[in-house]
Chain A
Amino acid sequence: MSTSKGFASSHNRAALLFLSPAFLLIAAFVAYPVVYAGWLSLFRWDGASAPVFQGAGNFVRLAGDPIFWRALGRNLLVALSAMVFQVFLALCIAYCLVRIVPAFSRIFLFFYLVPVMVSEICIGLLWRFMYNPYFGLVNAAFGALGLDGLKRGWLGESGTAFSAVVVVMSFTYLGLYVLLFVAAVRSVPESVYEAAEIDGAGHFTKFFSITIPMVGDAVRANSLLAIIGSLKTFSLVFVLTNGGPNHASEVVSTYLYKMGFGSFEMGYAATIGFTQMLLTAIGAWLVFRYLKRAGVGGRT
């Protein structure tokens, strides 16, 4: 661009003006509260009486709090399962919709997106029926298959509660990734597939050696989206098990909610959220550094 200096600075000023409302809103209600959470994590506070300065006390307590670390571990398990049962499964479904049954892709996509549109509270309440120990459909299905030994109170037993929640998450968020991958798979030029077909490649070969490499950017973007979503997860866990029984399905968000608004340990609740955010940031930084060194994430 051949612009004079005055022209460029007027653009600078205009850009700043247009951005300022967004900047103010985010600064006041996102950035400031996050920093404030760091400050509050230095205090013991019940939310009503005067806060008591603790120094690093909350962090020491958190470091030795097995419930927090198990909850954080479950967030990571949610992310891992999201990679397999949301991102990878969605890519498989998207390939089938675009390459094998394109005439039906629109109607399938519509139905896959239904749970994405509906409130997680509604979905969670409905799945409480599916998992009901007395008349639930999950138990009925096992009964019909002659597997009566597998019948149980899925959400009420500590051995199955977390897995049961993860299954609901997979069904609920899958559609978003199907949508994103359908768009990506459609953008792969037909000629690439035709060349492979001349060599006699089947769908399996085409999926792994053409589609996956060609939609690499979408795979990276959607994986990132799934991981971020998994670290944020709250509503479904809250309504299905509220982290129970006995913390067996606790994730960071439900633990924070209980600490802050059940036990009124506001300082400790702030510590939980702030620490998770710090750990996420450090984790992200390490991953990106590793990817950069390995030369993988070049284009993102």
Chain B
Amino acid sequence: MGAVRRWTVTNTVVLVLLTLHVLLVVFPFIWMIYSTFKTNKEFMRSVWSFPRSFSLDAYVGAWSGGALGGYAVNSLLIMAGATIITVVVATLAGYALAVYRPRWMPAVELGLTAAMAIPAYVALVPLVVMLRGAGLLDTHMGVVLPTAAFNVPVTIFIMQAFFNTLPRELFDAARMDGASEWSIFARVALPIARPAMFTAAIVNMIWVWNDFLFPVVFINSPARKTLPVGLTDFVGEHITNYPVMLAAILFAAIAPLVLFIFFERQITAALLGGAVKE
């Protein structure tokens, strides 16, 4: 029986508590957004109040000098490089994990799970040595390759979760027609995998955009720094003008938020697909 539930006191109490809690969680972001419309004078007068007037000075201040734009371009390049490599590599591997089940496959899955548990900083010193040897220290490519490698295991599981949902008959039918394993992948699996690859790409874009450890260690030239790293420099230099600082922080936060607003469904699906495996 589809029981019609009555709205009770419990519901109201829970709703109020959750609302208060979620406001606490997102308050720093709300405060950041409205504070960027204040002038520094207004900010200093009362830090937490809403702006009385609507000033764009902070945005002008944050953009002047052009440093942030340069950092964003670097972030964009590294994001594109790492995401493309990760998704291509993980699609191939995720397909193999889902479709072929040789006896050694559980060992591969165990290895990938172990790789996921390794903190990136364990590899930090050796990676610096390796990248310096290869002439890749202080270059975008030097960040792209290790970043992609560390994101590959979880992305493989996201892709495997997708390929697991496909009926096996799909591949068996093509096999009966004498198609090679590669052409089954390229002609049958790949076209239907495009939305899943897109989903995996979106979460990778967010991860790489937000990444801090590798860029802060591997890149020294100000001209090649990524946005989160450059942001810490920027904030250090503009310590006296708070709205400008906040506008810069908002600038670094906005890209993932926009992606999340537009692709909420894909992002949550990817996070669920990658996590259930563990």
| A contacts, CB < 8 Å to B | 8, 10-12, 14-15, 17-19, 21-23, 25-26, 28-34, 36-37, 40, 47, 93, 96-97, 100-101, 104, 108-115, 117-123, 125-127, 129-130, 135, 137, 140, 171, 174-176, 179-180, 183, 194, 203, 221-222, 224-225, 228, 231-232, 234-235, 238-239, 252-253, 256-257, 260-261, 266, 269-270, 273-274, 276-277, 280, 284
Instruction: Establish whether residues B22 and A112, one from each chain, have CB atoms under 8 Å apart when the complex forms.
Output: yes
Give CA–CA (A225, B112) in the complex, Å.
14
Contacts of A111 in B (CB 8 A): 22, 25-26
Contacts of A270 in B (CB 8 A): 125-126
Instruction: Establish whether residues A235 and B212, one from each chain, have CB atoms under 8 Å apart when the complex forms.
Output: yes
Instruction: Establish whether residues B25 and A19, one from each chain, have CB atoms under 8 Å apart when the complex forms.
Output: no
| Known contacts A96-B14, A114-B260, A280-B117, A34 near B150 by CB under 8 Å | no
Instruction: Establish whether residues B28 and A127, one from each chain, have CB atoms under 8 Å apart when the complex forms.
Output: yes
For residue B41, give the distance in angstroms from its CB to the closest CB of chain A: 14
Interface of A is mostly: helix
Contacts of B150 in A (CB 8 A): 29-30
Q: Tell me which of A36, A117, A273 has the highest count of chain B C-beta atoms within 10 A of its own C-beta.
A: A117
Instruction: Establish whether residues A137 and B48, one from each chain, have CB atoms under 8 Å apart when the complex forms.
Output: yes
Instruction: Establish whether residues A25 and B253, one from each chain, have CB atoms under 8 Å apart when the complex forms.
Output: no
Instruction: Establish whether residues B253 and A119, one from each chain, have CB atoms under 8 Å apart when the complex forms.
Output: yes
Question: Could you give 19 example pairs across A and B, Cβ below 8 Å?
Answer: A18-B96, A21-B93, A22-B89, A25-B149, A30-B149, A34-B123, A100-B10, A101-B14, A121-B252, A122-B253, A123-B28, A129-B47, A130-B28, A140-B48, A176-B271, A239-B232, A266-B125, A266-B128, A270-B126
| Known contacts A14-B100, A15-B105, A22 near B25 by CB under 8 Å | no
Contacts of A274 in B (CB 8 A): 122
What mask results when residues 216 to 243 of chain B are scored 1 for a CB within 8 Å of chain A, else 0? 0100000000011101100100000010
Instruction: Establish whether residues B125 and A121, one from each chain, have CB atoms under 8 Å apart when the complex forms.
Output: no
| B contacts, CB < 8 Å to A | 3, 10-11, 14-15, 18, 21-22, 24-29, 31-32, 47-48, 85, 88-90, 92-93, 95-97, 100, 102, 105, 108, 112, 115-130, 145-146, 148-150, 152-153, 156, 181-182, 185, 206, 209-210, 212-213, 217, 227-229, 231-232, 235, 242, 245, 249, 252-253, 256-257, 259-260, 264, 267-268, 271-272, 275-276, 278
Contacts of A108 in B (CB 8 A): 18, 22
Chain A to chain B: the 4 pairs with minimum beta-carbon distance, closest first: A29-B149, A33-B123, A18-B96, A36-B126
A171: which of B24, B89, B149, B156 is its contact (CB, 8 Å)?
B24
